[in-house]
Each structure stands twice: as C-alpha cells, then as structure tokens.
Amino acid sequence: MSSSEQPTFKLGLLTGGGDCPGLNAAIRAVVRKSIINGWQIMGFRNGWAGILERDYFEMTDRHVSGILNQGGTMLGTSRTDPRKTKGNYEKARSIFEGPGLDALIAIGGDDTLSVANQLAADGHPVVGIPKTMDNDVQGTDYCIGFDSAVTRVTEALDFLHTTASSHHRAMVVEVMGRDAGWVATIAGLAGGADYIVIPEVAAQLDDILGRLNMRRDQGKDFSIIVISEGARIEGLEEAEARVSGSDEFGHVDLSSKELGRRLANAIEDGTGMETRVTVLGHVQRGGPPSVFDRVLATRLGVTAVRMVRNQRWGYMPALQGRDIVEVPLTQAVGTNRKVDLDLYEVAEIFF
Ligand code: F6P
C-alpha cells in the first residue's frame, strides 16, 4: 500500500464454496472499481486453493467485460479450507508478507467467510462479501445467488403444477438448503406449494399424509410438496449420506440421502396417491443471475472496495432493508441464519 493520501492497494480477490449466479457481477464490480481507484487487482483461482498455490493473474477491464450476466464464477471455486491441513494456514497468511497482497476480498458463504474472519482476527487485511444460494449467512437479508435460485425453483414449481394436475399426482420437489430452508420457504410461497418441509420446523410424516388426504377429500386431486435436502421428518427413516460426498468443511453430500425419494415412497404407501419426485439439484444455482442479484452483487462489490480503502478489515458489506451496511465477520459466521417463522406461517396458510 502506498503512503500517499489516496492509498493504492495490491488487492487479491477470490470466490470460495458452491458457485451461484451473481458471482461474476460481484467480481466485475470489484475489478472495475479497483481499476478506477488506480489499484492492482489479482484474481486467485479456485478459492483458498488459489491462495495456497499462488495461482493468480492480474485482472484488467478486459477480463470482466461481458460477464455481468454470466452465471458461475470466472475465477473458479473450491471448498478448500486452509485450516484443514497442517501448515496450510501459515502458507495462506504469508500471502500478505513482503511483496504479497495489501488486502484481500473473499466472496463466499459461511465456510469461506469463516476463513476470512480468522485471517482478519489474526491481524490480516481481509474484507468479505456474502454469497450463497442457501441465504443463511447472518447479518444480511440477502446473499448473492439466493434470488436467482428461488426464481429458478419457482419457475420449476409452475411447470410441475401443470403436469401434477394433469395426472392427479403428488409431486415431491427436493431443493437445496443444508441448514436453513430459505429456498424451500420462499420458492414454495411464490410457487404455491401445498406443503413445505424445512430444517427449522419439525415435520411429522403423519401430518404430511393427513394434509394430503384432506386436500384430496376437498376435491384437490394433486399436491406439490417442497422439501429442503437438510430437513428431517419424524416417522420417515433416516438415511446415511455417502461418505464420498463430504468436503473439507465437513459437509456431506445431502442429495445422496434421497430425502425426496423416500418421502415420495412414503406418500404413495400412506395415501395411495401416485407420486413422483423431482430433485432440482444444481440447476438451482446455474445459469444467469436475476436482476436483483446483478444489482445486489454490484452494490456489494463496489462497497467492499470502498471498505478496503477505509481499511475495514474483518467486515463485510451486507443488505439490511434497502441499505448496504458494514457487518463484522465475527457476527456473520459460526451460526446459520434461520427462516423467520412468521414467514413460514404465511406459507402454511395455503397448505
Ligand atoms: O452452497 C450451498 C449448497 O448449495 C447447499 O445447499 C448444498 O447442500 C451444497 O451447496 C451442494 O453443493 P456441492 O454439490 O457443490 O457440494
């Protein structure tokens, strides 16, 4: 960093964790604003792996031209945790030594931001930006990627309604949401789900079956049930996840538990309704970002650069109401933001 009144920075940028739409919009905003400031900006490939491997390139306007509406992340991503392997955390933090970086912006969810938080706590110049289609980072109303994901899921529910009603079937729709049911709740609300199962609300198989039978008795001969992959249903046997699906942050591959499939079988057995299951999977986080995500990512990216200039280490920009505010990473990580139960109760009125 130069010592003039307008400090110049050699700034690093990375994206970590699961990809989602809007990451490129955030990258573009950080790069464009940094270049306007006269700074050098280094893009690190594949999250914290890029920091460990010193795998980076200097970014120019050309790199970010045309990426605003592109899904995924042009920097690549990984679920590498530098604290996982002995010596790696020391290697990661040495990126700030000598001719290394003056500052780093890490874009990610709870896992990536927890590494950023630790680096900041150890005195390093790090700012975070919250993204995750799960929308479960504390301190922000919206994370980059969530709006695009629920838009996609809602569209899928619209499509599934026509085929469910034509065949008079129950349709179980399994969506992502490891620790929190934001995707299921908001998309279920917008897409007219007849039952929503999320990790935050204890669900009983008998209750689900009872509601479906009740709908049938009312002459409603099809039903859409949206379920978060991380939910639990009392009365439905638990399944083990395949060990091969776990990542460095210790997360197992929840889709391998086939919760949607097992619920569909139980519905067919318990109600006699012909039942189909749709696992939306990674379609939910692919493709172009929504308008909302493009604007949010751009605002967060520009604000993060301003925070670097103001040396707001250990903070992230966050959307609260209509405002972008600065939230300490210590508040953002460690626990997941759960679905507001009053929101779930609104959705429940329509079950
Ligand atoms: O990023 C969070 C998330 O979308 C979770 O909802 C889901 O469990 C997980 O990613 C799956 O991601 P991957 O298949 O990349 O491990």
Q: pLDDT tens across 106-127, in order?
A: 999 999 999 999 999 999 999 9
Q: What is the pLDDT of residue 122?
A: 98
3-state SS track over the chain? CCCCCCCCCEEEEEECCCCCCCHHHHHHHHHHHHHHCCCEEEEECCCHHHHHHCCEEECCHHHHCCCCCCCCCCCCCCCCCCCCCCCHHHHHHHHHCCCCCCEEEEEECHHHHHHHHHHHHCCCCEEEEEECCCCCECCCCCCECHHHHHHHHHHHHHHHHHHHHHHCCEEEEEECCCCCCHHHHHHHHHCCCCEEECCCCCEEHHHHHHHHHHHHHCCCCCEEEEEECCCCEECCCCCCCCHHHCCCCCCCCHHHHCHHHHHHHHHHHHHCCCEEEEECHHHHHCCCCCHHHHHHHHHHHHHHHHHHHCCCCCEEEEEECCEEEEEEHHHHCCCECCCCHHHHHHHHCCC
Model confidence band, residue 242 (pLDDT cutoffs 50, 70, 90): low
Q: Which residue has the higher pLDDT, 335 or 237?
A: 335
pLDDT digits (tens, 9 = 90+) for 274-289: 999 999 999 999 999 9
Tell me which of 122-136, 229-243, 311-325 is least confident: 229-243
CATH superfamily, domain at 149-285: Phosphofructokinase domain (3.40.50.460)
Pinpoint the residues of the chain covered by CATH 3.40.50.450.
Answer: 10-144+289-332
Q: What is the mean pLDDT of the chain?
A: 95
Residue minimizing CA distance to atom 12 of ligand 1 = 18
pTM above 0.85, yes or no: yes
Q: Where in the chain is the domain with CATH 3.40.50.460?
A: 149-285
Mutation to probe ligand 1, out of 77, 134, 257 (largest number of atoms < 8 A from CB): 134
Q: Does the C-beta of 19 come closer than 6 Å to ligand 1?
A: no
pLDDT at 307 over 70: yes
Q: Is 137 in the pocket of ligand 1 (CB under 6 A)?
A: no
> Could you tell me the pLDDT band of residue 245, with boundaries at 50, 70 and 90?
low
Ligand 1 atom at minimum distance from 18 CA: 1
The confidence score (pLDDT) of residue 247 equals 83
Q: Top-level CATH class of 10-144+289-332?
A: alpha beta
Answer whether residue 342 shows pLDDT above 80. yes
Q: Which of 6-10, 155-159, 214-218 has the lowest mean pLDDT?
A: 6-10
> Is pLDDT above 70 for 272?
yes
